[in-house]
Amino acid sequence: MQAFIQSVIDKYEASPVRLLPILRDIQAEYQHISGTTVEQLTTALNIPRTQIISVIEFYSFLHATPTGQYDLLISDSITDHMLGKQDLMAYFASQLKVTIGETRADGLVSLNNTSCSGMCDQGPAGLVNGHALTRLDRPRIDAIVALINQQVPLTQWPTEFFTVDDNIYLAGLLLKNPVTPGEALKARYQKGLAETLKEIEMSGLRGRGGAGFKTALKWRFCSEEAETERYVVCNADEGEPGTFKDRVLLNTYAHQVFEGMTLCASIIGAEQGFLYLRGEYLHLYNKLQNILLERREAGLLGHNILAQGLNFDIEIRLGCGAYICGEESALIESLEGKRGIPRNRPPYPVSQGFLNKPTVVNNVETFFAASKIAVTGGQWFASVGTEQSQGTKILSISGDCNKPGIYEYPFGTPIIQVLQDCGAADVLGIQIGGPSGTFIGQDEFQRTLAFEDLATGGSFIIFNQTRNILDIVKNFTHFFAHESCGFCTPCRVGTSLLKKQLDKIVDGYGSAGDVAALEELCQLVKNNSHCGLGQTAANPILSTLQRYPENYAQQLKDISYEPGFDLDASLETARRLAKRNDAGAHLAQVEDNQV
Amino acid sequence: MTDKLKVATTSLAGCFGCHMSLLDIDERMLELAQHIEFDRSPITDIEHCGPCDIGLIEGGVCNSENVHVLREFRKNCKVLVAVGACAINGGLPAMRNHIPLEDCLNEAYIDGLGVENAQIPSDPELPLLLDNVHPIHEIVKVDYYMPGCPPSGDVFWSFLTAIIAGQEPSLPYELVHFD
Amino acid sequence: MSQTITIDGQEIPYEEGQTIMDAAIAANIYIPHLCHNPEYEPHGSCKLCTVKVNGRNCSACTFPAMQGQDIINHSDDLEHDRKRITQMLFVEGNHFCPACEKTGNCQLQGIAYYLDMHDNHFPHFFANREMDASHPDILIDHNRCIFCNLCVRASQEKDHKNVFAISGRGINKCLIINSKSGKLKDSELDINDCAAHICPTGAILIKRTGYQVPIGQRTYDQHKIDEISLAKEHKHHD
């Protein structure tokens, strides 16, 4: 074991900033990172053992105690729920004879939930030892259970279990006209640096992750920093439930994304780039490495790119299961081998990012679009969309529709158009921008996709009339409590309190005062949290409370107050030990004559 | 009849320290007696609470009987007050919350040092313990809180005189204590 | 003319590089805080120092002072939120003040008194947390840890040791000890370290020093935390 770990350390040049890849490799080999391993690493990497332990405890895919040799994680996204995940999960557990959240006694298999795995258009989905499983159903689960019990290696499992489709149903401006490898870089060197940046500025391109900062401005700020060691980071930590367009872009248009990163490097003067790929997209890793290799061989990456004197290379870093790492400064912390805790801002990453050097962090789709703009020019892009939101937006559409998948629309497209195209009928509402976005109801389908109206990083989840609003909100609220990094008080404690308070109401223990308390708590978490996670964690509750107060009201009892937990159940231990079951050994949840 | 305010008091999972502290208002008790009269309280030995203006609850909720008593108070008292640390946050009795109830009972009645005739009591007359000790605001709606372990006599005085005068009770800085 | 910011209508000077908190302390203005201590790198996690800067909420301890900022430090809304945040800290851990040696000297309590907090408002988590009494001179009761990170910073910045770190995620956040056993006794912590004395609550206590000052005569029994804080931190600034 010691020799293997040493080989991993050597592979990553004993570099502390590569702690995550080191831990990933060890986890993959031994299903956990033991105390002894931590000791070996602390010496070899010359970092405190506490840094290693805290990283293991922070990321969902790293463990201090062994998971099963087959570690199964089932995606807990609302879209998986809608496709019958809860039932399948129970079936899985019973067939495998394993308790959810635990490792089977023989150590062969473990089963647990995981946050949205980004396969919303082909769920119910999951991961086995990090590899994506799609379209789970009972026959497939039966087959998987048999394969596990016979200890068949993953490489010999049927490949269709791992098939991930693009499902591009509507290709627009960008998806229809990809650039050929090298095209954007050549155009950039023909036009020159200043002219290229001007084209990007003219295009009006804004960050596609959701926040919408002007891309040209970000690149310019970074290039104007006094410090000349600079970095390019592509944020492919696509963790917002319901989003999967970056997965498709990297599967089919990776050249264009890498080209966009190289373009950025040539403008800001960076020599090193990172693609921070969410761990759930492990299936893309080798393919992307091969594309990087191709690009190096074609003179599009590495030393003296296109003989223009540009030196730039890209390293792919896999995430380890933490939604917060989609926040750019948390992502940078993670790249540095630390827990993903959002930094205090200012300073912003453009001036102090990776290793406190100027860093541009952009979304996959932003780099993808920038490549094309470098070739075709800014005007071409800006002529589409609205005045404040130029160009197109790629949507990941899932939920209740006939054709869940990828759609590219000009900004300004009304929601009703999208619903028609994907075959959605009898729609109750749509979650736009994922749990951190907005829930809109039937009377809002004339609203448009745009930064100035409905902004989205790409998530578009459709719910039909059979769905229960409160189930949706509960799923989202639990998600945030699970993903809060814990740095600041309002989010750390607040998201867990939101979960408790919402559950109290949804589970039927609420009274009128409880909704007021819930709303107050929402405002508290929203207004005082450190980063976007906490600031948006209450959005699902707030946007549905505003639109569907009656759904909450229906859950309430006409009483002044009721405990948030099952009183009678909390006497169960005492009843059992005292061997009693008389009337006095029970408690009513609400006093009989209480009004 | 009288226009005195009716006050009921009880100690749930508490030590009666808060009640002792109420007595610490000393001779002011005489003045207080001109404005209030006690209903159910350890001071009166009245067993059940009638309609009252103020209910003072000492102690947290650790068993089924506490739940019944607390509900009786909530039903009958216009204003319900959590008195002292235990009513407010569970206090010392809640320090058992991180020990499973089964372990607590086994230690006390089965495995503990000096236990004879080991058995967990099962008399229906005895209230059963809840898994956790809870502050009272987790069981019923509470109107006011008097912090302290115990709240000093001055806290009781300040609070009750404000209510008698029809004012919103408030505590000056020097009376706010959690110990 | 030096550069100025305005806090609750009072115009005060600041120097380049100062945070709003620095400038406030220098001008003898108290902004409530727990995780901040001017002797250490600002952290910005407790969020008690949230102030409104030109209408937007910012952490005073990390946000730079900039010319012309109009800052609200005291308003009903801010005080209300600060009380709720303090209550969050009380329900998250297990803070049984009557059973804690730090009572009366505890900054968490001091803030609660200052904010006129009478109850914990939220349902309690009753988290299952450990105590580590293995060290001959120092005791850690994790029940009282509020993750202010001051012991982590003190150990790194002043003691140059790295004895403490924050681990876990979300509500499972925890303080861990840098030793092979994970126990304090096997760490490099010494009774003379700054980290052993920096804890604002009773999470890190020095053994055999308890109850030297009777309850009722302790720091926050006598004075409000704004006075105490400014007396100490304003002086430090001079």
Domain count, chain C: 2
Considering the domain architecture, whether residues C66 and C146 belong to the same structural domain is answered as no
ipTM: 0.97
DSSP state letter for A511: B
pLDDT, averaged across chain C: 96
Q: Does C50 touch chain A (CB under 8 A)?
A: yes
Mutate to test the interface with B, among C92, C115, C119, C128 (most CBs of B within 10 A): C119
Q: Domain boundaries in chain A?
A: 2-58, 70-165, 169-382, 392-467, 470-553
Position A595 pLDDT exceeds 50:
no
Tell me how far CA of residue A425 lies from CA of A401, A419, A435, in angstroms: 7, 8, 22
Q: Rounded to a whole number, what is the distance in Å from the CA of A551 to chain C's nearest CA?
A: 24
Q: Does C136 touch chain A (CB under 8 A)?
A: no
Fold of A70-165: Glutaredoxin (3.40.30)
Q: Is the CB of residue B89 less than 8 Å from the CB of residue C124?
A: yes
Q: Rounded to a whole number, what is the distance in Å from the CA of B107 to chain A's nearest CA?
A: 13
Chain B residues with beta carbon closer than 8 angstroms to that of A575: 128
pLDDT at C71: 98
Place of tokens 């201590």: C37
The helix (H) or strand (E) run that includes residue A95 is helix A85-96
What's the CA gap between A526 and A530, in Å, rounded? 9
Task: Name the residue among C64, C162, C180 with its Cβ closest to that of A39.
Answer: C180
For the segment(s) A169-382, the CATH number from 3.40.50.11540, 3.40.50.2300, 2.30.42.10, 3.40.50.300 is: 3.40.50.11540
* DSSP three-state, residue A113: strand
Place of tokens 């050597």: A10
pLDDT at A594: 44
pLDDT at C235: 67
Task: Name the residue among C123, C171, C176 with its Cβ closest to that of A492.
Answer: C171
Q: How many CB contacts within 8 angstroms connect chain B with chain C? A: 77
Q: What percent of chain A has pLDDT over 70?
A: 99
* DSSP three-state, residue A262: helix
Position A94 pLDDT exceeds 90:
yes
Model pLDDT for residues A406-435, shown as the tens digit of each residue: 999 999 999 999 999 999 999 999 999 999
Model pLDDT for residues B89-117, shown as the tens digit of each residue: 999 999 999 999 999 999 999 999 999 99
Chain B residues with beta carbon closer than 8 angstroms to that of A574: 101, 105, 128-131
CATH number, domain with residue C51? 3.10.20.740
Chain B residues with beta carbon closer than 8 angstroms to that of C116: 170-171, 173, 176
Considering the domain architecture, whether residues C62 and C106 belong to the same structural domain is answered as no
Domain membership of residue C44 (yes or no) is yes
Architecture of domain A392-467 in this structure: Roll (3.10)
Model pLDDT for residues A549-589, shown as the tens digit of each residue: 999 999 988 777 888 889 999 999 999 999 999 999 999 98
pLDDT, averaged across chain B: 95
Considering the domain architecture, whether residues C127 and C143 belong to the same structural domain is answered as yes
DSSP state letter for B46: B
- Amino acid (1-letter code) at residue A16: P
Q: Is the CB of residue A236 less than 8 Å from the CB of residue A275?
A: yes
pLDDT, averaged across chain A: 96
* DSSP three-state, residue B24: coil
Angle between helices A35-45 and A19-30 (to 10 degrees): 150
What's the CA gap between A568 and A576, in Å, rounded? 12
Considering the domain architecture, whether residues C201 and C108 belong to the same structural domain is answered as yes
Model pLDDT for residues B47-91, shown as the tens digit of each residue: 999 999 999 999 999 999 999 999 999 999 999 999 999 999 999
What's the CA gap between A578 and C82, in Å, rounded? 45
The helix (H) or strand (E) run that includes residue B66 is helix B64-76
Q: Domain boundaries in chain B?
A: 5-94+132-175
Q: Is C147 left (phi over 0), alpha (psi -120 to 50) or beta?
A: left
* DSSP three-state, residue A182: coil
Domain membership of residue C171 (yes or no) is yes
Domain membership of residue C115 (yes or no) is yes
Chain C residues with beta carbon closer than 8 angstroms to that of A344: 42, 44, 59, 62
pLDDT at C1: 53
Q: DSSP labels for C170-226?
A: GGG-EEEE-STTS-GGGS---TTSGGGT--SSSSEEETT-TTSS-TTSSHHHHS-HH
Domain membership of residue C88 (yes or no) is no
CATH number, domain with residue C117? 3.30.70.20
Q: Give the range of the structural domain holding residue C182, as residue numbers without chain letter.
A: 97-224
Model pLDDT for residues A455-467, shown as the tens digit of each residue: 999 999 999 999 9
| CA dihedral of C76, C82, C83, C89, whole degrees rounded to 10 | 170
Considering the domain architecture, whether residues C105 and C219 belong to the same structural domain is answered as yes
Model pLDDT for residues A135-172, shown as the tens digit of each residue: 999 999 999 999 999 999 999 999 999 999 999 999 99
The long-range contacts involving B30-36, CB below 8 angstroms and separated by at least 24 positions, are B32/B157, B32/B160, B32/B161, B34/B4, B35/B4, B35/B5, B35/B164, B36/B4, B36/B5, B36/B6, B36/B7, B36/B160, B36/B164
Position A70 pLDDT exceeds 90:
yes
Model pLDDT for residues A197-224, shown as the tens digit of each residue: 999 999 999 999 878 999 999 999 999 9
Position B170 pLDDT exceeds 60:
yes
pLDDT at A593: 52
Fold of B5-94+132-175: Rossmann fold (3.40.50)
Considering the domain architecture, whether residues C153 and C187 belong to the same structural domain is answered as yes
Considering the domain architecture, whether residues C42 and C21 belong to the same structural domain is answered as yes
Domain membership of residue C214 (yes or no) is yes
The CATH classification number of A470-553 equals: 1.20.1440.230
What's the CA gap between A54 and A48, in Å, rounded? 10
What's the CA gap between A279 and A415, in Å, rounded? 32
Domain membership of residue C89 (yes or no) is no
Considering the domain architecture, whether residues C122 and C204 belong to the same structural domain is answered as yes
Q: Does A568 touch chain B (CB under 8 A)?
A: no
Q: What percent of chain A has pLDDT over 90?
A: 95
Domain membership of residue C179 (yes or no) is yes
